[in-house]
Structure 1
Amino acid sequence: MIESQRLCPISVIARLLQECKTMRELKQIHAHITTSPHLSKTDRYLLTSRLLFSCTTSNSASLRYAAAVFQSIHNPNLFMYNTMIRALACKTNYKDKPSSSQSLILYKQMLCSDIVPDHITFPFLLKECVNRVDGEMGRSIHAHVFKFGLCCDVFVQNLMISLYGVCGVLYSARRVFDEMSNKDVVSWNSMVIGCLRSGALDLALELFGKMKKRNVITWNSIITGFVQGGRPKEAIEFFHEMQVLSDDMVSPDKITVASVVSACASLGGLDQGRWVHSYLVRSGLECDMVIGTALVDMYGKCGCVERAVEVFKQMPRKDVLAWTAMISVFALHGYGEEAFDLFQTMVELGVKPNPVTFVGLLSACAHSGLVDKGSWCFNIMRSVFLIEPQVQHYACMVDILSRAGEFDEAERLIRNMPMEPDVFVWGALLGGCQMHGHIELGEKVAQNLISVEPVNHAFYVTLRDIYAKGGRFDDVKRIRAFMNDEGIEKEVPGSSMVEIDGLVYEFSVRGAPGVVMEGILCVIYGLTGEMKIHGNTINLIE
């Protein structure tokens, strides 16, 4: 090899740099570049540039070693700066990643060296700002983009949209988007995702409808965004539209399936969920931990505990989220003992619980009336698993004690909380007062909650129910009159959902979809007529 290097040192070393597999080989080549008498100063400079690139892009890349190489270079050029800025901005790929945003520091150093950035420099700087969710620094970088005449570069513009979207500055994101002369699918996706992140679902839907080309990221974004935005029914409709309109190049993937399963769980759409599960099997997609966990959650929320257990047992690998999902299913349906048996198995297998796991366990205790077990669970969080109880754990514990009528203990726990109790903690106590008809404490807690959220109808309704159970009907009338005078009413009317032939229909006091309502009214009129024939004077329409 040495003889070959004497004949053609640069080409041979460049090839070795391209072919090397480990950092050990890179270091050997670096040593040869540094010590070889056959390389000129210019040759060393060029080869060190190639070495730097290999240090940051190979499978065994070391950011720390790359930084040391960079520091040893006298007067690094634009390519070298871009290489290091790229590596630092994408530092999640490295084991020895730095803790601070050194790519931005390096950019300042580059400017001080009178090196002009180009279209490669800015996308990675903006990526760093996206990772940090740093809108202020992003605006500064945006100003430099204009300064150096790169404001029309599509890659830079796309990163600007992503940055403003992540930071919730939709006005700026939309301004960049509208000023683009050449929008690609990434531009549209970035704008749609930014709207979804900010909760502007209708604006995201408007943009989605205008897109001429969509990829799997587009569909996954709109489906996931609507699920997380509380509109799961529309998310399922998007999934069906995706199957109808998309070609072979764009088909649902594991992310799509996981999101749609979550939508079915939110709706309680068991038939829909079963269909999606069967689609998963037919399509040959892997049922990984994410999808398996989503299926467990969906079957549990739809009331199919046995099917949830079956899916859970079939999962080849389970992380803490999967175990927690199954524990939460048991908790939801009052299987407290089963939840704790599963928790014991989980711990024996070496899976460390997280704070959400204990929320599930404490909820199981609340729904099953396991006061002693709840106290034990609350205590081992800190003593055994070193998890400090958060406000949601205190809320669960207050719920357990209140349901059991242990109001003195519940109040003592609230007084000793290391943080301020929130509405969920007080709400749990109020719920216990409602259950046991504890009027005096219920009044005090309700007044406390009303002072925090004076227009929240739930507190008035609960207090009214407590008065009614205690026979204090004058107070019931007083609360009702006060709510009417102040215009306090339910923001969302009570509703029910039913699944018919795979479609989920919603009913509320405001009515239901026209075609469905016609059929219901027809049945009601028929029943009313039959009841009149048999001498019953009840009018179902009223």
Structure 2
Amino acid sequence: MVEASWLNLRNALARLLDECKNMKELKQIHSHIITSPGIPIHDHYFLVTRLLFFCATSHSGSLSYATNVFHHIEHPNVFVYNTMIRAHATRMINDGSDAHSCPSLILYKQMFRNGVRPDHLTFPFLAKECTRRLDAHAGKSIHVQVIKVGLSEDLFVQNSMINMYASCGFLNHARCIFDEMSARDVVSWNSMIIGFLRGGDLDSAFDLFKMMKKRNVITWNSIITGFVQGGRPKEALDFFHEMQVLDDDGTVRPDKITVASALSACASFGALDHGKWIHSYLKRSGLECDMVISSALVDMYGKCGCVERAIEVFKEMPEKDVLAWTTMISVLALHGFAEEAFDLFKEMQIQGTKPNHVTFVGLLSASAHSGLVEAGRWCFDVMTQVYSIEPQAQHYACMVDILSRAGLFEEAEGLIQSMPMEPDVFVWGALLGGCHMHGNVEMAESVAHHLFDLEPLNHAFYVTLSEIYAKANRFDDEKRIRAFMKERGIKKTVPGCSMIEVNGIVQEFSVGGSPQVLMEEIEWVLNGLCEEMKMGDHPPDINSGD
């Protein structure tokens, strides 16, 4: 009878723990466990470890309370240690703890000293903390321990080590583990591909992608997003269409991330027809058009020149967050609708949405494109004084652009000198652009030298300075700059190109080569125009560069 009552009590408390929703309820259950007489040691241990698990892993839990419970457990087993290591590995660094300490490793050492053997779950949690902290040094120590304990062939552990090394930028280490694996799953491939994409090695990521026999939605999202962010949006869009073609059984369908990335690709090179098709695909597929996707649609339509359609999508949104407002403001700024951008900002304030630093980049850009100096100054003041947003380099670059376009060089120079960070190429580049506009040769020479120091092989700065010299009739200095570029081998490494959508097909035109059929058609049209201009006594100047 006594044993039955113990079991009933244990089961009742276990059920309460399963249904527990917050720390207040948990503390009440904990007091029941402590004050209940006659509970056998093994049942008490079972309940306390369940309680610890809630404290350490639940969003409603408390890491400090879990730590206190942990210190009162005699002879913690591997489950208890793994629970605490997991809790520390997944918590936020800004929770008041020392960002330089690594409590998971401290727990691991304690675990080892107490003779508790780690298992295949211990090391992935340890690797996760190293990944979150980008601490490759500690990660290498973990890897050594993995080998010593004999878990270097465990798939779960190997995947965590690949992810840790790749996230910390040690792609060679990650690739070594990957190549030595006797068996790989989709997580192994994804971790390696994502590592290459983060490191900017798109070709290596693509090579692995082609070798994969089985892909999931994470694989496709990674390669599409990676190529968009890596400046190769046309290929990203090709991946999106390939994903749909290969989805024979409907197991790997595009999700919201896929669609948002594909829309971003369309926005990057003005593929309006593709963007419209994706918009209609959204409606057909039944995917929820949430704020993220709606904002991506606004961005796509705006960058493709359909401002009215962007406004329509924006107005159709039932709810708008800061991303949505900022995207619409940026679209208006891009097309020179400064007044409308500021009106929208006022509406955003009335609706109670707090702007972020990107919002003010859009407003400052609008001011620059429309030459609104006072509006730019107002933005800069409101950002800092009302919203306590510390200006970043891009804000200073916008403000310098506004001032230098207006010929206010002393104020622009003073602003640069007041910057709490070192001015980057965008800040100095904005000032050089103003010097080019107003023919300020003396300041241009000084600014150009800053840019030469920052990016000595960037041809654009030398070309701009030579053009400023030419406008001032200082042709000897222009020749000197051109000769210097030739001597140092500084030339335009990436040929100029432009992309345009023709009948739903994106065509790329480049100095380095373009589609032959289209070039023949273009030459035919240009020759016809030349003949008409000759007949009208307007001989074309083919060397003008205009």
Q: TM-score, normalised by structure 1?
A: 0.92
**Whole-angstrom distance in 2 between the partners of 1:117 and 1:262:** 44
202-211 vs 403-412, greater mean Cα deviation: 403-412
- The 3 A distance-change label for structure 1 pair 372 and 60 is closer
Shift of 1:533: 9.7
Q: Where do residues 88-103 of structure 1 align in structure 2 (5 Å cutoff)?
A: 88-91=88-91, 101-103=102-104
2:239 is the counterpart of 1:231: no
8 Å contact kept, 1:26–1:51: yes
Q: Are the aligned partners of 1:262 and 1:298 in contact in 2 as well (CA < 8 Å)?
A: yes
Distance 1:458 1:534 in 2: 37
**Does the CA contact (< 8 Å) of 1:5 and 1:13 recur in 2?**
no
| Percent identity of equivalent pairs | 65
Q: Is residue 63–residue 96 contact of structure 1 (8 Å, CA) maintained in 2?
A: no
Going from structure 1 to structure 2, the CA distance change for 1:452 and 1:30 (only over 3 Å counts) comes to closer
Larger deviation: 332-341 or 508-517?
Answer: 508-517
Q: Do structure 1's residue 488 and structure 2's residue 490 form an aligned pair?
A: yes
Gaps of 5+ in 2: none
What is the match of residue 84 of structure 1?
A: 84
C-alpha change, 1:278 and 1:104, in structure 2 (3 Å) is same
Give CA deviations for 1:130-184 in whole Å, capped at 9, x if unaligned: 1111111111011000010000110000011101110111110000001111100
Matched to 2:325, the amino acid is: W
CA RMSD of aligned residues (A): 2.8
Structure-2 residue corresponding to 1:381: 383
Partner of 1:455: 457
Structure 1: distance between partners of 2:57 and 2:454: 55
Q: CA deviation at 1:481?
A: 3.1
User: Which range moved further: 446-455 or 314-323?
Assistant: 446-455
| Counterpart secondary structure, 2:380 | helix
Task: Identify if the C-alpha distance between structure 1 residues 449 and 48 changes in structure 2 by more than 3 Å, giving closer, same or farther.
Answer: closer
CA contact (8 A) 1:62 1:96 kept: no
2:485 alignment partner AA: M
Superposition deviation, residue 456 in structure 1: 1.7
Contact 1:327–1:360 at 8 Å: present in 2 too? yes
Report deviation, 1:334. 1.3
Question: Residues 6 and 39 of structure 2 are in contact (CA less than 8 Å); yes or no, is this contact kept in structure 1?
Answer: no
Distance change in 2, residues 1:354/1:113 (3 Å): same
**2:424 maps to which residue?**
422
Task: Please say if 1:348 is aligned against 2:345.
Answer: no
Q: C-alpha displacement at 1:522, in angstroms?
A: 5.5
Change in 2 beyond 3 A, CA 1:73/1:357: same
Partner of 1:117: 118
More displaced 10-residue stretch of structure 1: 208-217 or 19-28: 19-28
Aligned length, in residue pairs: 540
* Deviation for aligned residue 1:250: 0.4
Going from structure 1 to structure 2, the CA distance change for 1:459 and 1:206 (only over 3 Å counts) comes to same
For 1:58 and 1:434, locate their aligned partners in 2 and report how far apart those are by CA, in whole Å.
Answer: 59
Cα distance in 2 for partners of 1:125, 1:314 equals 46
1:91–1:98 CA contact under 8 A, matched in 2: no
5 Å matches for 1:256-335? 256-335=258-337
Provide the C-alpha distance between the structure 2 equivalents of 1:195 and 1:354, rounded to a whole number of angstroms: 31
Q: 1:107 to 1:369 in 2, by over 3 A?
A: same
* Corresponding letter in the other structure for 2:85: I
1:249 to 221, 239, 251: 251
- CA 489–70 in structure 1, closer or farther in 2 if over 3 Å, else same: same
AA aligned to 2:61 is A
- In 2 relative to 1, CA 425–535 (structure 1 residues): closer, same or farther, beyond 3 Å? closer
Structure 1 position 74 matched with structure 2 position 40: no
Change (3 A) 1:281 1:11: same
Instruction: Give the whole-Å Cα distance in 2 for the aligned partners of 1:166 and 1:4.
Output: 53
Q: Describe the shift of the 1:438–1:29 C-alpha distance in structure 2 as closer, same or farther (beyond 3 A).
A: closer
Q: Is the 8 A contact 1:254 1:285 kept in 2?
A: yes
Secondary structure at 2:37 match in 1:
coil
> Per-residue deviation at 1:364?
0.9
Partner of 2:60: 60
Cα deviation, residue 431, structure 1: 0.8
Distance 1:395 1:7 in 2: 70
CA gap of 1:371–1:59, structure 2 versus 1, over 3 A, is closer
Deviation by residue 1:39-63 (Cα, 9 ceiling, x = unmatched): 1233322332233234445563333
Aligned to 1:183: 184
Whichever residue aligns with residue 280 of structure 1, its letter is L
In 2, Cα distance between the equivalents of 1:163 and 1:426?
37
Q: 1:485 to 1:212 in 2, by over 3 A?
A: same
- Which letter does structure 1 place at the counterpart of 2:74? H
Asked if 2 retains the 8 angstrom alpha-carbon contact of 1:460 and 1:479, the reply is yes
1:466 to partner: Cα distance: 1.6
Contact 2:186 2:215 in 1 (8 A): yes
Out of 142-151 and 408-417, give the one that drifted further: 408-417
* Aligned-partner Cα distance in 2 for 1:104–1:253: 37
Deviation at 1:469, TM superposition (A): 2.2
- 1:48 corresponds to which residue? 48
Match of 2:395 among 393, 396, 404: 393
Counterpart residue type for residue 126 of structure 1: A
Cα distance between partner residues in 1 of 2:58 and 2:506? 51
Shifted more, 261-270 versus 148-157: the winner is 261-270
Describe the SS at the equivalent of 2:499. strand
Unpaired runs of 5+ in structure 1?
A: none
Instruction: Give 2:406's aligned residue.
Output: 404
Shift of 1:239: 0.3
Shift of 1:3: 12
SS in 1 for 2:214: coil
Report what 1:105 is aligned to.
106
SS in 2 for 1:405: coil
> For residue 38 of structure 2, what is the aligned residue in structure 1?
38
| Cα pair distance change 1:38/1:505, threshold 3 Å | same
Q: Tell me the residue number matched to 2:215.
A: 214
Shift of residue 479 of structure 1? 2.9
Distance 1:144 1:462, change over 3 A: same
Contact 2:57 2:83 in 1 (8 A): no
Kindly state the Cα deviation for residue 291 of structure 1 after the two structures are TM-superposed. Answer: 1.3
Q: Secondary structure at the match of 1:505?
A: strand
Q: 1:431 to 1:45 in 2, by over 3 A?
A: same
Judge conservation of contact 2:360–2:395 (CA < 8 Å) in 1: yes
Q: Distance in 2 between matches of 1:121 and 1:431?
A: 56
Superposed CA deviations along residues 77-123 of structure 1, whole A, max 9, x for unmatched, are 1121112222332336x997966543222212211212111112111
1: CA distance, partners of 2:530 / 2:233: 36
Change (3 A) 1:473 1:189: same
